[in-house]
Each structure stands twice: as C-alpha cells, then as structure tokens.
C-alpha cells in the first residue's frame, strides 16, 4: 500500500497561478484579433517580435526551470506589443521585450519578485531610446495586406516612413493646430488610430470583465482608476482648466489597456483591497495631470510605473484590521 502524508489542508482549490496566467493570455485574444483586423500583418509581426524578445530572455536568464510554461513571459510580450504602434520596427520591439523581461523582472528574481510591471519597463525603455519611432502612427491604408510602416527597418538605421502619418486622438487634442475631439463612440469601438491595443475599449472591457468574473483580476483596481480619472478630469474640465471631457479621458489612449491589464498585474499591485483603491486613485490622478500638463500626450504608462513604486508603502499602510481588535488599538500595537 502506498499512502502519502501531507500537512493540512488536504484539499486545495482548483485555481492555480498557471491557470491565472493563461486565462489572461486567452482574454487578450479578442483584443489582438481586433488589432490585426485594424492594422493588418504589421500587428501580427509586432506582437510576435515583442513576445519573442520576452520568451527568449526568460529562456536564457530565467532562474526557474520550466518558467516559460507558466505563461507570465508571454503575457509581458503580448502586453508590450499591444502598447506599440503598428508600424514599429520589429528589432526595436524585440529589444524592448528583452529589456522589459531582463530589467523589469528577472533581475529582481523572476516571477513574483519584481516591483515594476515588466511590459511597461520595456515600453519606458523604448520610449526613451526611440522616441520618434514609438510616436509615429502612419495613416491607415486601404489595403489590409500593406504594412503600417517600416516594420523591417534594420537595427540602428532610421526607419523610413513613406506613408503619411496621422495623429492619435490624444495627440490631436494636445498638439493639433485645431484640437478635434474624437467622438467617444469611435474610441469605444476602436476605429481610431493608435497603438495596437489602444484602440478598442469595448474588447478590452470584455476581456477585463471575463477576468474579473473568473477572479483572476482585482476589479477594485480598474474601477478605482476609472472613478478617479472621471472625477479628477471632470473637475478640471468643469473649472475650464482642461479641454479634455471626462469620457474622452476614459476611452482614449492606453487607459483601458492600462487599467485592466497593466495596473492589475498581481505582482506589482497592492495586496489589500483598500490598497488597490489608493493605488487606482493615484493612477487616475497622475494620468489626468500628465495628460493635461505633461510633455507627452499620454500618461498611463508613467502613472502606473510611479504607483508601482509606491506599492510597498501602500501595503504597509493598509494592513487588515486583526479580528478582535479595534482599528485604533491596532495602531497603538503597531507603534
């Protein structure tokens, strides 16, 4: 007879970290499909390049054997790809994936140890290294098969942009000679210009709601980001300080993707629900401030990275109240 002895509890929930990771990947399928529909083969190429950069780096430098199978590296690759413009040179996307993985995650000790969202670290690197390429959005072509830019630019050569460029809704608002507010419905459905995953708020919303329903995403985070963005931008709009209407703020740029997929990264977000509210409110506030006064049209990335840095402090400040103590007494104990 072969009986094993384990410590209690002897039964476990069916949930697993690997299942969580892969359900995030599956929930991104509609968003990726939409970006391929809108941007053609360029979208596929950019997503492949950024994912390849992440997977290869994890394979080469990841410390845990079999860490590729846990799905976390592919998520980083896909999310990074979705923040890039469709015509982005592939070698840059590949490099960004590798940098994000190496310096956003592996250097801290791998899965679960990092402070900053690795996909955003990769994007921040690309933004600093290739500011022109990452803000070049070619005008949409009629031919679906046509590339959206110089995807195959050789490393360290300036990409050739032979098509006319077009502005994104946010860029249009901020830097356009004649600010035009893109209709919210267009933003919602995704028929506007922008990065791969920035366009269809609807599909991101569906993917995010699916994850929240499965319990694989803490819904407090996106909700608090939306509430905060809406309230803060509404306030500035009402006071006449800003020209961005609150709904435009919500559905434009990387807001949806950031709120549902970047900010909710379990590793780099607070562990308590109370902390998640503080985190989300902070992100919303920073996004609005950066969009109105910053030198960039978009602020979601830096807002999330800045709040990532504060997570350890938020966690410390929002420890749960121990059963059988009043919240006041807890503070006395803690001092």
Partner 1 sequence: MKGLLSFKHGVHPPENKDITAGIASRRFPFPGEIVLPLSQHIGVPAKALVKPGDRVERGDVIAEAAGFVSSAVHASAAGTVKAIELWPHPNGSMVPSIRITVDPNSTQMRRPRIVPRWEDVKAEDLSKEIGRAGIVGLGGAAFPSHVKLTPPKDQPIDILLMNGCECEPYLTSDHRTMLEQPEKVYEGIRIALKALGITRAVIGIEANKPDAIEIMQKLAPDDLDITIQPLQVKYPQGAEKMLIKAVTGREVPSGALPSAIGALVQNVATAANVATAFETGQPLIERIITITGRGIRKPGNWVIPFGTKLRDVIEHCGGLTDDASEIVFGGPMMGQGQANLDVPILKATGGILVLSKDECKQQDIMPCIRCGKCLEACPVFLNPQLMGALAKAERYEELESEAHLKDCMLCGCCSFVCPSNIPLSQLFAMSRTQIRRLSTS
Token look-up 């006064």 returns 293
What is the nearest approach in angstroms of partner 1 to the Cβ of residue 5? 4
Closest approach, Cβ 60 to partner 1, in A, equals 19
Beta carbon nearer to partner 1, 295 or 334:
334
For residues 171 and 160, the answer to whether their CB atoms sit within 8 Å is no
Question: Quick check: 313 binds partner 1 (CB under 8 A)?
Answer: no
Q: Does 64 bind partner 1 (CB under 8 A)?
A: yes
Q: Which is nearer to partner 1, 10 or 328 (CB)?
A: 10
Task: Specify which residues 165 forms β-bridges with.
Answer: 138
Torsion sign, CA atoms 29, 35, 36, 41: negative
Least Å distance, CB 57 to partner 1, is 18
Least gap, CB of 15 to partner 1 (angstroms)? 5
Min separation Cβ 119 and partner 1, Å: 15
Residues in 197-236 that interact with partner 1 by CB under 8 A: 215, 218
Tell me whether residue 111 or residue 255 sits nearer to partner 1 (CB atom): 111
DSSP output for 236-301: HHHTTS----HHHHHHSTTHHHIIIIITT-GGGS-SSHHHHHHHHHHHHHHHHHHHHHSSSS--HH
Should residue 158 be labelled a site residue for partner 1 when binding is judged by CB under 8 A?
A: no
Closest separation in Å from C-beta 53 to partner 1:
22
**Binding partner 1 by CB under 8 A: which of 238, 309, 321, 331?**
321
- Residue 13 lies near partner 1 (rule: CB under 8 A): yes
Q: How far apart are CA 84 and CA 44, in angstroms?
A: 12
Residues numbered 243 to 282 that lie near partner 1 (CB under 8 A) are 266-267, 269-273
User: 210-248: b or e for each residue (b if 16 or more CB lie within 10 Å)?
Assistant: bbbeeebbbbbbbebbbebbbebbbebbeeeebebebbb
The one segment of 2-10, 125-133, 187-195, 200-208 that binds partner 1 by CB under 8 A: 2-10
Q: Does 20 bind partner 1 (CB under 8 A)?
A: yes
- Under rule CB under 8 A, which residues in 79-138 are in contact with partner 1? 110-113
Given phi > 0 = left and psi -120 to 50 = alpha, else beta, which region is 334? alpha
Name which of 165, 177, 142, 108 is nearest 39 in CA terms.
Answer: 142
Element (DSSP H or E) covering residue 309: helix 300-317
Q: For partner 1, which is the closer residue by CB, 158 or 325?
A: 325
Query: Which residues form the interface with partner 1 (CB under 8 A)?
Result: 1, 3-13, 15-20, 64, 70, 110-113, 215, 218, 266-267, 269-273, 319-325, 334
């Amino acid at each position: 007879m072969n009986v094993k002895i384990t410590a209690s509890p002897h039964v476990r929930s069916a949930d697993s970290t690997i299942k969580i990771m892969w359900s995030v990947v599956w929930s991104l399928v509609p968003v990726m499909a939409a970006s391929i529909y809108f941007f053609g083969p360029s979208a596929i190429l950019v997503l492949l390049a950024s994912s390849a950069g992440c997977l290869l780096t994890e394979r080469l430098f990841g410390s845990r054997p079999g860490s590729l199978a846990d799905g976390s590296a592919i998520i980083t690759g896909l999310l990074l790809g979705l923040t890039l413009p469709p015509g982005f040179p592939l070698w840059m996307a590949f490099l960004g994936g590798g940098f994000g993985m190496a310096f956003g995650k592996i250097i801290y000790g791998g899965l679960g140890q990092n402070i900053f969202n690795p996909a955003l670290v990769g994007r921040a690197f690309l933004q600093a290294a290739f500011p022109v390429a990452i803000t070049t959005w070619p005008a949409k072509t009629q031919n679906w098969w046509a590339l959206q830019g110089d995807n195959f630019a050789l490393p360290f050569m300036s990409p050739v942009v032979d098509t006319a460029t077009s502005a994104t809704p946010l860029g249009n608002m901020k830097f356009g000679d004649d600010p035009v507010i893109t209709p919210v419905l267009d933003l919602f459905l995704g028929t506007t210009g922008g990065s791969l995953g920035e366009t269809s708020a609807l599909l991101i919303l569906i993917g995010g709601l699916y994850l929240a329903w499965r319990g694989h995403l803490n819904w407090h985070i996106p909700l608090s980001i939306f509430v905060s963005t809406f309230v803060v931008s509404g306030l500035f709009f009402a006071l006449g300080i800003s020209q961005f209407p609150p709904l435009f703020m919500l559905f434009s740029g990387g807001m949806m993707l950031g709120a549902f997929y970047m900010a909710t990264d379990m590793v780099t977000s607070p562990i308590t629900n109370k902390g998640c509210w503080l985190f989300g409110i902070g992100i919303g506030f920073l996004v609005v401030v950066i969009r109105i006064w910053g030198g960039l049209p978009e602020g979601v990335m830096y807002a999330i990275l800045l709040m990532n840095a504060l997570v350890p402090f938020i966690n410390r400040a929002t420890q749960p109240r121990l059963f059988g103590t009043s919240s006041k007494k807890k503070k006395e104990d803690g001092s």
